[in-house]
Amino acid sequence: MISRIKNSSDYKWWVFGAIAIGTFLSVVDHGSVLVALPSIERHFGSDLPTVQWIVVGYALAISVLILPMGRLGDMIGRRHVYVGGMVIFVVAAALAGASPNLGSLIASKIFQGVGSAMVQGSGMAMIISTFPGSERGKALGTHLSVVGTGAIAGPAIGGLLVSAFDWRSVFFANVPVGLFTIVISLLILPLSKPDAPPEGQRFDWGGAVLSGLALMGFLLVVGNGDRFGWTSPAIYIGAAATLLAIVAFIKWELRTPSPMLELRLFKRKLVSLGVAAGWLAFLGTSASRFMMPFYLQRVLEFGPRDVGLLLIPPALCMVVIGPISGRLSDRFGWRGLTVGGLALSVVAWAVLAITLTESSPVLLIIIMLMFQSAGTALFNSPNNSSILSAVERSQYGVVSALTQLVRNSANVTSIAVATTVIVATMGSRGVEPSLDAVSPAVAEAFVAGLRWAFLMLGGLLMVGIAIALLRGERPDPVQPVKSEPAESIKVSPASE
């Protein structure tokens, strides 16, 4: 039966399905854990800032390791990395569920983040490698719908498990599904051999370490800037250390004969401008998923359950529109969809910046959030497809990982920047400059800050639109990028 599957014309969808199960599991796990945090806090008698390290440590592990794992998959075979990652994910889930104290639970989630980085760094690359180039957008769009479905299901599943059993069930539930995913992956996924690397090529440990230090520093500085104060010595020292790590990483990658991330790919317009547009797109939209629940709960005074239900329609927009956008990009190209998607998000923020009050109709809020989610879905798959169309197959893993890293880092930055704008506005109006202080009594100051944040986010998206217009449409045939000493680099014509 397995041989018939592998020889069938639908084999690409079997591969997609095997990877989709792992993707869905990791997204659902994240949403479930968020719901379980209050129960974990009560069980261990801890406080929320400490308990949040269950999520923060997991996210940091993924962000720091996803690029190296993407490159490792390119070099040794992506199925090995994907299945190995699922094994770590399952073992860590069992350890997390059995944790006797909070420290071991946080350590288990960090360990699970290693597995998730391996899964994310190789899964999408396998999908792209299996589908023909003419269907790349379709594959990416359908993958986005899996992510969106998991985002909807995660909190609901987590709530049911915590209510029916306890918080440990959120982690233990991953074990049987993860074991099933491992078996299916071993049976279905192709035992792909890496594209023949240049003789003597080795894994770039120096680049992996430097990129990890740079990313960890960036995420910690951005994520804690509002808490410690952007002008505090800790933030200045962290920013300086991060900058040094970034400079060292760039110099190392340009000089090493086997770079983890081939920086010369950024000479290609579709890669460099596509990455820039992607980062600005998520920078200009991600804060909404963090800020609007504050508004709905603490200003309009909806309960958590109602807020969860109200946010389902925007998530469904991504589930439905993602595959459609991917298919359209295969047929008509990327520029119109990426520009149109960003423009739709700009419209949503402009309307909210003009009309939002302390008593805005909830229907207006949900419609604008649906516009924003639809815009993200229109933009994301075509943009990633354009980036991947401009690189060699041997770079699919690390570049796929790069597109996910762009999203993760922009998400953190978006929340940090929007929070800073909002609390600064609250402080200027004589209100305690903290989101913890948000209530109907200070709603006017909070809403004023939200309006300024929406204007700022819309402005960032306008820059993204300009970049999306400039980058071109279809690429020229991809020319291999050759590593050469930094002093001998010559600029070659960019692929557009």
CA-based nearest residue to 368, from 288, 450, 281 = 288
| The predicted structure's pLDDT at residue 48 | 67
- Is there a common fold for 7-189 and 261-473? yes
The domain segmentation of the chain, as residue ranges, is 7-189, 261-473
pLDDT at residue 201, rounded to an integer: 66
Alpha carbon dihedral 333, 73, 31, 170, in 10-degree steps, equals: 150
CB atoms within 10 A of CB 306: 14
pLDDT of residue 489: 35
pLDDT at 90: 95
**Under CATH, which number does the domain 261-473 receive?**
1.20.1250.20
Query: Which SS3 state, helix, strand or coil, does residue 370 take?
Result: helix
Closest CA to 24 of 178, 164, 134: 178
Residue that the structure tokens 């922009």 belong to: 410
Tell me the two tokens of residue 196. 């023949």
Q: For the ranges 37-51, 125-139, 467-481, which has the lowest average pLDDT?
A: 467-481
Residue 10 has pLDDT above 90, yes or no: no
Q: Write the single-letter amino acid at 9.
A: S
How many CA atoms are closer than 13 Å to the CA of 138, on its beta-carbon side?
A: 12
**Does the pLDDT value for residue 115 go beyond 60?**
yes
- How many whole angstroms separate alpha carbon 314 and alpha carbon 317? 5
Mean pLDDT value across residues 110-122: 90
Mean pLDDT, range 51-65, rounded to an integer:
84
Q: Which residues of 188-205 are buried (b: 16+ CB within 10 A; e: fewer)?
A: bbeebebeeeeeeeeebe
In this structure, what token pair is assigned to residue 447? 């809403």
Residue 152: pLDDT over 90: no
d(CA 479, CA 461): 31
Calpha distance 366→435 (Å, rounded)? 22
| DSSP per residue, 144-212 | HHHHHHHHHHHHHHHHHHHHHS-THHHHHTHHHHHHHHHHHHHHHS--PPPP-PPTT----HHHHHHHH
CA 84 to chain centroid: 21
Mean per-residue pLDDT, 241-259: 90
pLDDT, residue 160, reads 83
**So what's the pLDDT on residue 493?**
34
Which CATH superfamily is 7-189 part of? MFS general substrate transporter like domains (1.20.1250.20)
